[in-house]
Amino acid sequence: MELTPWAQVALAVLAVWALLVVVLIWVGRGTLARELVTLVPNLVRLFAGLLRDRRVPLRAKVVIAAASAYVAFPIDLIPEFVPVVGSLDDAIVAALALRFVLRTTDGAVLREHWRGDPRTLDRILRFAAVGRGPGGS
């Protein structure tokens, strides 16, 4: 049975991701590996929770929905099969969406919907260059 090109790309991305997790564990970065494993599911739950929350303004929900659509869309600016940087555009889009949400919504609302390690959310927010501005922590 021959795999479709999309299935081959998905398997390659999965293999690179798994290899990265194994390497992180091997070099003693187990916490970082665990964060990597749970990042996408936690972001999905975060975005879903924010979309349902009445305290989040409509304009922030539009940004979250657009970012979610971009991340889910199979065609990206940087193809997913490119090792390491393949998910970079998705991460940037998600971080920019979170940055906008924090500028329009109380940071406590965002933290309330985060189901992962709070330190992971702090790292994501630092990556988004939110810092301690309005709505931030």
pLDDT tens-digit profile, the chain (137 residues): 676 766 666 666 566 667 777 777 788 877 767 776 677 778 888 999 999 999 999 999 999 999 888 877 766 666 666 655 666 677 778 888 888 988 898 888 989 999 888 888 887 777 665 444 444 44
The amino acid at residue 126 is: R
Q: How far is CA 137 from CA 16, 24, 83, 103, in A?
A: 34, 29, 33, 11
Say if 29 falls within a structural domain.
Answer: no
40: exposed, middle or buried (Cβ count in 10 Å: 0-12, 13-18, 19+): middle
Establish if 123 belongs to a structural domain: yes
Task: Report yes or no on 25 lying in a domain.
Answer: no
Q: Decide if 67 contacts 99 (C-beta within 8 A).
A: no
Where in the sequence is the domain holding 68, given as residue range(s)? 37-127
Residue 8 lies in a domain: no
Token pair 């303004």 is at which residue?
57
Residue 28 lies in a domain: no
Burial class (CB in 10 A: 0-12, 13-18, 19+), 22: exposed
In a domain, 50, yes or no: yes
pTM over cut 0.85? no
Q: Does residue 55 sit within a domain?
A: yes
Residue 6 covered by a domain: no
| Buried/exposed 48-62: b ≥16 CB within 10 Å, e otherwise | ebbeeeeebeeebbe
Total tally of structural domains belonging to the chain = 1
